[in-house]
Structure 1
Amino acid sequence: MTAANAPTVDVHAHVLLPEVEALVAGLPGHAEAKELDARRNGPAALAVSGPMVRERIPRLTDPAVRLAAMDAQGVDVQLVSPSPSHYHYWADEDLAEKLYRLANEATAAHCSAAPERLRGLGLAPLQHPEQAVRGLDHALERGLAGVEISSHAPGRELSDPAYEPFWTRAEETGALVFLHPFGCTLDERLDRWYLSNTVGQPTENAVALSQLIFSGVLDRHPGLTLIAAHGGGYLPTHIGRSDHAWSARSDAGAGCAHPPSSYLKRLYFDSLVHDPHVLRELIRVAGADRVLLGSDFPFDMGTEDPLGALRAARLSDADFHAVRGGNAAALLRKD
């Protein structure tokens, strides 16, 4: 199959799982997490987000409504991941196991309504590194393509040695790992004007990817298939500063073998950057074979017209079709 003949694949689309939220409802840890989320976002953002999500519940939960929306967008296949609000990294070990099992099973059930058009990702509890491998294996056993993770867990960065077994297992199995932040540790500094998302998400992406690069995780696991949401955040457009630090400072260059920019060509990125010039720059630094169509379906910080956003970048035909679906179709076939 050539890229031009490949289906159009959206790798950044979400599903809402009421079963997961029912499991945590009323628990003290959930209440504390909601309070933290409220502080991080601020009251004005919550007042907008609540109605926005409620209006989109049919698209988030009903496969028939999802498929109709995909048809309207010209999307053939979605890689469906749980809403990041389902991470619940506050959960203890027993609850965390119940959560990832339920999330994986519910996502697989949602995608089973149209297995030729819907592929799924599960969850792995990063707050318990020893469970992350089990969560990944459980997702793969349910026919999912891999797992979705956040940019960090409480008290742990993605560079933490405790995650080495997880990276090893993901590399061995060819599983897709979708890096999608939830929340930002800048907390109340971003609690107005929805800065928690507009600044917070790309910041978290940049920090998480930098942890993986500078720590040598990508040196140790060159076959890891990691997809960064939101075009990798701020990192790809500011990677020159990372390269300079790596070459100018012994502390910055101690953990990874090559200039940071070289690792962008080992990662995958979705196309959701909201600016055709930024998308062209992402393709320049990472390569057209490393960028995948993404919409953040169906949330308001996504795009209702992912193909239109891609066309606006005025790519060559070859690059357009690679990003439109050729790259993702190859990954899903490998999976």
Structure 2
Amino acid sequence: MTTPTVDVHAHILLPEVEALVDGLPGLAGARALDARRNGPAALAVNGPMVRERVALLTDVTARLAAMDGQGVDVQLVSPSPSHYHYWTDGEAAEKVYRLANEATAAHCSAAPSRLRGLGLVPLQHPGQTVRALEHALGLGLLGVEISSHAPARELSDPAYEPFWARAEESGAIVFLHPFGCTLDERLDRWYLSNTVGQPTENAVALSHLIFSGVLDRHPGLKLVAAHGGGYLPTHIGRSDHAWTTRPDAGAGCARLPSSYLKQLYFDSLVHDPQVLRELVRVAGADRVLLGSDFPFDMGTENPVGALRAARLSDADLHAVRGGNAATLLDLDLDLDFAIDIDIDRTVT
């Protein structure tokens, strides 16, 4: 029996969601904010980049062919974060999450042995989050994808307690993937909105979950952080120092912040083999999962090669390549997965 290679960070584009919100009050303002945050140079690149990848983002046949080329057996597919639309009112938000969940489930159902899916929840309306999670699970999705914050709400907000409780109880996967950084125009050149913004947002969101005690109250939560958790895992020593020396920093959580890293999951998409080795060291090889950000340009077209470049032990490499995710996603290992990875061939 060969452990499958599992990519937990792969996206789908949902044109039907964009058609749904087109013309709604608030869309123009949301687009203007996105333009300010990214700047004109980034927007000029983003459009053509996405258009070149539309088939990979929407067509199951094209997706599976690309997966075969990468040596990936299974993808955990989540909507493009551009579909969060946290600006929508309650009525529109419910329509967005239902349509996104249904469209993602339909896409994955075309290749059920190779595709698993995640839905969306409207973080801007905490009262809808449990219902949205239940809707996703009812469609056979494994959980939901969320951003690092919603307007005027951090993930530590008590209003989300029912959501965290239900996610823990149900065993749902919660994939933390930021969209937009609140540093705004400070990052509007040189694509800093992504290169600096995404890891910053990951670090802030995870710090809220740690320091507020959310992870104390919900130790069984299956939370996967994109982009290797951003800056937090490699700079967690500063958090530990603050927790031990300042009463305000240590007031909300029971243990050293670094101890909670072993309670979370992280994808491997850090773009540096030494950073990946450090992530494995601080979080544990059993908490790191292969991730590619398929098929966007800030991802990797050779996720197994990027993993191999970290020169992990064979046991750790195979755990990250797919063993950990196979357990997390509860994959049927009796299935005859099509791809038999030649690890040496994938060295970059």
How far does the alpha carbon of each residue in 1:151-202 deviate from its partner, in whole angstroms, 9 at most, with x for none? 0000000000000000000000000000000000000000000000000000
CA distance in structure 1 between the partners assigned to 2:88 and 2:36 by the alignment: 20
- 1: CA distance between counterparts of 2:127 and 2:23? 27
**Which one of the candidate residues 20, 27, 46 is aligned to 1:49?**
46
Residues 1:279 and 2:276 are matched in the alignment: yes
Equivalent position of 2:312 in the other structure: 315
Q: What code does the residue aligned with 1:240 have?
A: G
Q: State the Cα distance separating 1:28 from its structure 2 match.
A: 2.5
Residue 237 (structure 1) aligned with residue 259 (structure 2): no
Residue in 2 that maps onto 1:304: 301
Mapping for residues 26-41 of structure 1, pairs under 5 Å: 26-41=23-38
3-state SS of the aligned residue for 1:231?
Answer: helix
Q: What fraction of aligned residue pairs are identical, expressed as a percent?
A: 85
| Cross-structure match for 2:56 | 59
Residue 132 in structure 1 maps to residue 129 in structure 2 = yes
Q: Which residue, 244, 247, 250 being the options, matches 1:250?
A: 247
CA distance in structure 1 between the partners assigned to 2:65 and 2:262 by the alignment: 35
Letter in 2 for 1:175: A
Q: What letter corresponds to residue 330 of structure 1 in structure 2? A: T
Matched, 1:20 2:27: no
- TM-score for the superposition, normalised by structure 2: 0.95
Q: TM-score, normalised by structure 1?
A: 0.98
Does residue 213 of structure 1 match 2:210? yes
Q: Distance in 1 between matches of 2:331 and 2:93?
A: 29
Structure 1 segment 128-277 matched on structure 2, within 5 A: 128-277=125-274
- For residues 49 and 18 of structure 1, the distance between their equivalents in structure 2, rounded to whole angstroms, comes to 16
The alpha carbon displacement at 1:26 in A equals 1.5
Structure 1 spans left out of the alignment, 5+ residues: none
Q: Which residue of 2 aligns with 1:117?
A: 114
Residue 334 (structure 1) shift = 7.7
Asked if structure 2 preserves the Cα contact closer than 8 Å seen for 1:41 and 1:194, the reply is: yes
> Using the alignment, how far apart are the partners of 1:274 and 1:248 within structure 2?
33
Alpha carbons 1:174, 1:334 under 8 Å: kept: no
Of the three residues 72, 84, 88, the one matched with 2:85 is 88
CA drift of 1:30 comes to 1.1
Q: After superposition, what is the alpha-carbon deviation per residue over 1:96-150, rounded to whole angstroms, capped at 9, x for unaligned?
A: 0000000000000000110000000000000000101111000000000000000
Q: 1:332 maps to what in 2?
A: 329
1:214 Cα deviation from its structure 2 partner: 0.1
